[in-house]
Amino acid sequence: MKRDVGREEKAVFAEYLARHGLKRSEQREAILEAFLRSERHLSVDDLLRLARKRRPEVGRTTVYRTLKLLQEAGLATELVLRGETRFEREYKRQHHDHFICKACGEIFEFSSDEIERIQEQVASDIGFVIDGHRHQIYGACRSCTARSARSEARR
Amino acid sequence: MKRDVGREEKAVFAEYLARHGLKRSEQREAILEAFLRSERHLSVDDLLRLARKRRPEVGRTTVYRTLKLLQEAGLATELVLRGETRFEREYKRQHHDHFICKACGEIFEFSSDEIERIQEQVASDIGFVIDGHRHQIYGACRSCTARSARSEARR
DNA sequence: TTACGTGCAAATACTTTGCAGTTCC
DNA sequence: GGAACTGCAAAGTATTTGCACGTAA
């Protein structure tokens, strides 16, 4: 069932390599595969670990280098959450921002056309032309809020 | 005229030190003074350089350590803009977020009650309790937009 | 064949920590 | 006098780069 995960993205990457006179390699394939199979927000270490399941010799250096290529190919984006660098899929995904639960570390995505609109408004007020943004909201997710309410009550 | 810059904040810091059994020092005073006199978004290097104008022997280590104290005392906040760590005054300042011009690096502040409100809305939709957020908008400021329009026209 | 790719080790950049000497209270 | 403070050098992190060897095209 999960065969062909990210088939389209693999084609995009192949295309990117070809167009830039670069070559395919087992390592790049293992890394891309691992990246595509995980729906999560991966750290370099996560990705290294996952890629090594398939190809144990993959080096950390190659992960860094491949991530750079994936970003240039429009397949990955870097985000820094609470000081930690993570990567997520980018290809054909709608723009979104993140909630981060300080208790469990879970990351939730959100997007709001309304916020985007007001941003544009505020920007144009000072003659600023927007080209991108990062919006991160920290706090407690539903289950962590519930958990702490429970332990509160227990006192 | 500019005597007594941040008098209130100095008092807050003294109070903080006292309450925690910590001591005042020439270095801490020089660093705080430099921090308060500058209205900008300072890097560690900026602050080190400024503090050294007053006390040339101030060490980088002490700047790091003092910045930590200033944050704990509620006088400074750290922000990471385009991968660069910066510090700004926090005491009694209204919450705000940042525009960053990719061309000249200039940082502009903004705030929008409307955005805050929608954030709360979006958060409560998923049962998330907000505790803080970071919102950074990248693009081109008015003068850089004008400048590039001019060089466009020249072609 | 040859330009590109790889892993390792070394180099960077930024920040923290250990330590021996100094200063504040 | 003793705990706290300081600067330096060393140790950590995270990421990048130089290089000799390996490999896709």
Nearest residue on chain A to B80, judged by CA atoms? A83
Measure B71 CA to C3 C1' (Å): 52
SS3 A97: strand
Residues of B in contact with A133 (CB under 8 A): 135-138
- Measured between its terminal Cα atoms, the distance across chain B in Å is 49
B133 and A135 Cβ atoms separated by less than 8 Å: yes
pLDDT of residue A25: 97
Give the separation between CA A91 and CA A98, rounded to whole angstroms. 17
- Predicted confidence (pLDDT) at residue B99 exceeds the cutoff of 90: yes
Give the separation between CA A25 and CA B25, rounded to whole angstroms. 58
pLDDT of residue A5: 78
pLDDT tens-digit map of A25-72: 999 999 999 999 997 899 999 999 999 999 999 999 999 999 999 999
Nucleotide nearest to A78 (CA to C1'): D15
Least confident span in A42-51, A125-134, A143-152, B92-101: A143-152
SS3 A8: helix
Instruction: Please name which of A91, A83, A78 lies closest in space to residue A36, comparing C-alpha atoms.
Output: A91
Confidence bin at B150 (pLDDT 50/70/90)? confident
Residues of A in contact with B102 (CB under 8 A): 131
pLDDT of residue A71: 98
pLDDT of residue B155: 58
CA B69 to mean position of chain CA atoms: 14
Mean pLDDT of B61-90: 96
- Predicted confidence (pLDDT) at residue A2 exceeds the cutoff of 60: no
> Residue A131 has which token pair?
């080209």
- Predicted confidence (pLDDT) at residue A109 exceeds the cutoff of 70: yes
- Predicted confidence (pLDDT) at residue B143 exceeds the cutoff of 80: yes
Measure B46 CA to C21 C1' (Å): 28
pLDDT of residue B60: 97
Torsion of CA A109, A115, A120, A121, to 10 degrees: -170
- Secondary structure of B37-74 in the HEC alphabet? HCCCCECHHHHHHHHHHHCCCCCHHHHHHHHHHHHHCC
Considering only residues 22-41 of protein chain B, which place a Cβ less than 7 A from any atom of strand C?
A: 23-26
What value does the mean pLDDT of chain A take? 93
- Interface probe for A, chosen from B95, B108, B131 (most Cβ of A below 10 Å), is B131
Measure A108 CA to D25 C1' (Å): 43
- Predicted confidence (pLDDT) at residue B68 exceeds the cutoff of 60: yes
Query: Are β-strands A76-81 and A84-89 bridged in parallel, bridged antiparallel, or unpaired?
Result: antiparallel
* B139·A127 Cβ contact <8 A: no
Residues of A in contact with B136 (CB under 8 A): 133-135
Half-sphere exposure of A149 (CA within 13 A, CB side): 8
Confidence bin at B3 (pLDDT 50/70/90)? low
Mean pLDDT of A74-88: 94
pLDDT of residue B146: 92
Q: A62 beta carbon < 7 A from strand C? A: yes
pLDDT of residue A111: 95
Mean pLDDT of B88-110: 94
Confidence bin at A98 (pLDDT 50/70/90)? very high
pLDDT tens-digit map of A131-141: 999 999 999 99
CA B106 to mean position of chain CA atoms: 13
A17 burial type by CB count under 10 A (0-12 exposed, 13-18 middle, 19+ buried): middle
**Which of chain D's bases lie under 7 Å from a protein CB?**
3-9, 14-18, 23-25
B76: left (phi over 0), alpha (psi -120 to 50) or beta: beta
B31 and B73 Cβ atoms separated by less than 8 Å: no
* A140·B122 Cβ contact <8 A: no
pLDDT of residue A154: 63
Q: How many helices (H) and strands (E) does chain A have?
A: 6, 5
How many C-beta atoms surround the C-beta of residue A115 within 10 A?
Answer: 23
Mean pLDDT of B74-102: 94
Considering only residues 58-87 of protein chain B, which place a Cβ less than 7 A from any atom of strand D?
A: 58-62, 65-66
Q: B18 beta carbon < 7 A from strand D? A: no
Q: A61 beta carbon < 7 A from strand D? A: yes
Whole-model pTM: value is 0.90
pLDDT of residue B151: 77
- Interface probe for B, chosen from A137, A142, A143, A148 (most Cβ of B below 10 Å), is A137
pLDDT of residue A29: 97
Mean pLDDT of A71-99: 95
- Measured between its terminal Cα atoms, the distance across chain A in Å is 49
